[in-house]
Amino acid sequence: MTIHRVGVALEPAYDIHIGAGALDLVPEMLSERRRVAIVSQSAIADLYLDSIRSGLANSEVFLIGDGEEAKSLSTVEGLCRNFAEFGLLRGDVVVALGGGVVGDTAGFAASVYYRGVDVLQVPTSLLAQVDAAIGGKTAVNIPEGKNLVGAFHQPIAVAVDTDTLASLSPREYRSGLGEIAKYALISDFGISGTGLIELLNNSTDLVLARDPAVLADLVAMCCEIKAQVVAADPYERTGIRATLNLGHTLAHALETRGGYELTHGEAVSIGLIFAVELAEAAGRISAETAKRYCSVASSLGLPLEVPGGSEVKAEDLLAIMRRDKKASGGLTFVLPGKDGLQLVDDPPTDALAYAFRCVGVGG
Ligand SMILES: NC(=O)c1ccc[n+]([C@@H]2O[C@H](COP(=O)([O-])OP(=O)(O)OC[C@H]3O[C@@H](n4cnc5c(N)ncnc54)[C@H](O)[C@@H]3O)[C@@H](O)[C@H]2O)c1
C-alpha cells in the first residue's frame, strides 16, 4: 500500500498518514501504549473497528450518538467516566474513529481527562479527513452556540484511510467535496500551490466516482494545505488560520437561520460562491477568475445557490452574519484578492447586493 505522509510542523510535530489501508497502521502506532480507549459510533464501529482493534492488546470501545446533539458536555462527561472505569491513565491514549462529530467530542474529552491525554485521530468522513481531524481544534456544542466549549489539543498523529470513504453516503461525500472546493480556492490564491484545482478539473469524474488512487492524492493535497496553514498559526491568532473560514460567513448564517436541507459542506459551497462574487464586485479579482472557480464547484455537483433563496431576505442573513463570532464589530469576510486571502471588513453595500443576487437570495 502507498501511504502519503504529511508533516504538521508544530512543537511537537506530528504526521498525517494518508492512503488506502491506513487503518492497518494504527495497532503499530499504538504498540507501546498500555491502554487504548476507542471512541466511535455504532455504524462506523461495525465497519471498521476490527481492523484496528484486532492488533491492540488492551482496548475498550465507547460508542457515542450520531449528529450534532451528541457533541455535548454530557457526552464528554460520559466518556470521561467510561475512561476512568476502564482505568485510563495519563500515558494511555484515546482513539477517535469517525467523522467530525466523533473527532471533536473524543478530542475534547481527551484534552480534559487527566488534564490531557494523547489522542490519535482516525477520521472516516471526507470532511473529517481533509479538515476536522487536523489542527487540534476540539469542541462541543452548548444551547447558546455551536463549538462554544472546546480546547486546542493536537493529536499525536492522524491515520486517514481513504478506503473508508467507500461507505459514506452520497450526501456526506458531497459535504466533504464542499470543503475540498474551499481548499481549491485557498491553493489558487497562493497559500500552497499544490495543483489541487488542476486535479479537480482534470479528474472530476474519478473524484465523483471515488476512485481510490485519485482520492488518496486529493485528500493528501488538502491535508498538505491544512497542515501548512495550521503550522503558520496554530492558535488562530495572526489571521492566517482564519483564512480556512473562507466561505463560512454566509455558510454559518445559512446554518443558523435553518430551514434548509443543506449539509455543512453544501452551505460552505454556496458561501464560497458568495465570497468569490463579492470579491469580484469589490474589484479584488477578475470576472474570469470568479468564473473559473464557480465552474469547479459546479462540476463537482455542489449547490451554487441558496435553495428557495427568492423567499429569503438578504437583510436577515446580514443580521446573523454581524453576530458571527469572528466579526470584529461589523461584517467580516475572508476574500480572495491580488495579495491572497485577507480578512475584509464591511465590503461595499452594492457589492454585497450583487453577491446575494449571484447566490439567488432576494429574487
Ligand atoms: N475541529 C475542526 O477543525 C472542525 C473542522 C470542520 C468541521 N468540524 C466539525 O465536524 C463536524 C462535521 O463532521 P462530519 O461532516 O464528518 O459529520 P459527522 O461526524 O456527523 O459524520 C456524518 C455522518 O457520516 C457517518 N460516517 C462517518 N464516516 C463514515 C463512513 N466511513 N462510512 C459511513 N458513514 C460514515 C457518521 O456516522 C455520520 O452519521 C461538525 O460538528 C463540525 O463542527 C470540526
Q: Residue 239 belongs to a domain with what CATH number?
A: 1.20.1090.10
| d(C-alpha 19, C-alpha 168), whole Å | 16
Q: Among the options 252, 255, 266, 277, which is catalytic?
A: 252
**What pLDDT does residue 324 have?**
63
Q: Is the pLDDT of residue 363 over 70?
A: no
Ligand 1 pocket check for 101: Cβ under 6 Å? yes
Last residue of a domain, one of 167, 196, 214: 167
**What pLDDT does residue 190 have?**
62
284 part of the active site: no
Domain membership of residue 307 (yes or no) is yes
Q: Among the options 241, 255, 280, 284, which is catalytic?
A: 241
145 beta partners: 142
Q: Among the options 147, 236, 322, 326, which is catalytic?
A: 236
Domain membership of residue 14 (yes or no) is yes
pTM comes to 0.95
| Mutate which of 125, 129, 245 for ligand 1 pocket (most atoms within 8 A of beta carbon) | 125
Mean pLDDT on 195-202: 88
Q: What digits encode the pLDDT tens for the residues 11-35?
A: 999 999 999 999 999 999 999 999 9
Domain membership of residue 32 (yes or no) is yes
Domain membership of residue 363 (yes or no) is no
Measure CA 271 to chain center: 15
Choose the weakest-confidence range: 5-19, 86-100, 146-160, 287-301: 287-301
Same domain, 206 and 352: yes
Ligand 1 pocket check for 134: Cβ under 6 Å? no
Domain membership of residue 88 (yes or no) is yes
Q: Among the options 17, 35, 264, 284, which is catalytic?
A: 264
Same domain, 52 and 91: yes
Same domain, 138 and 212: no
| d(C-alpha 266, C-alpha 186), whole Å | 17
pLDDT band at 247 (very low <50, low <70, confident <90, very high): very high
Maximum mean pLDDT: which of 107-111, 201-205, 252-256: 107-111
Same domain, 67 and 150: yes
Q: What digits encode the pLDDT tens for the residues 290-334?
A: 998 898 999 999 999 999 999 999 999 999 888 765 555 689 999
Same domain, 143 and 192: no
Mean pLDDT on 236-245: 90
Count of the separate structural domains present in the chain? 2
Same domain, 246 and 141: no
> Three cell numbers at 326?
469572528
CATH number at residue 56: 3.40.50.1970
Same domain, 202 and 281: yes
Ligand 1 pocket check for 44: Cβ under 6 Å? yes
Give 362 or 121, the one with higher predicted confidence. 121
* Average pLDDT along the chain: 93
Q: Is the pLDDT of residue 191 over 80?
A: no
**What pLDDT does residue 188 have?**
79
Same domain, 163 and 308: no
Q: Whose CA is nearest to atom 11 of ligand 1?
A: 100
137 part of the active site: yes
Instruction: Tell me which residue of 55, 76, 56, 54 sits closest to 65, measured CA to CA.
Output: 76
| Mutate which of 111, 119, 124, 172 for ligand 1 pocket (most atoms within 8 A of beta carbon) | 172
**What pLDDT does residue 362 have?**
86
| d(C-alpha 353, C-alpha 210), whole Å | 37
Domain membership of residue 274 (yes or no) is yes
Q: How far is the CA of 266 from the centre of ligand 1 (A)?
A: 14
Percent of the chain whose pLDDT exceeds 90: 81
Q: How far is the CA of 342 from the centre of ligand 1 (A)?
A: 28
Q: How far is the CA of 348 from the centre of ligand 1 (A)?
A: 36
Ligand 1 atom with the shortest distance to the CA of 146: 43
Q: Is the pLDDT of residue 108 over 90?
A: yes
Cα angle, residue 59 at apex, residues 54 and 63 outer, rounded to 5°: 100
Ligand 1 pocket check for 342: Cβ under 6 Å? no
Same domain, 200 and 145: no
What is the residue range of 264's domain?
170-358
Same domain, 130 and 277: no
Ligand 1 pocket check for 135: Cβ under 6 Å? yes
Last residue of a domain, one of 167, 197, 231: 167
- CB contact at 8 A, 160 and 16: yes
Same domain, 180 and 263: yes
Same domain, 111 and 227: no
Last residue of a domain, one of 149, 167, 185: 167
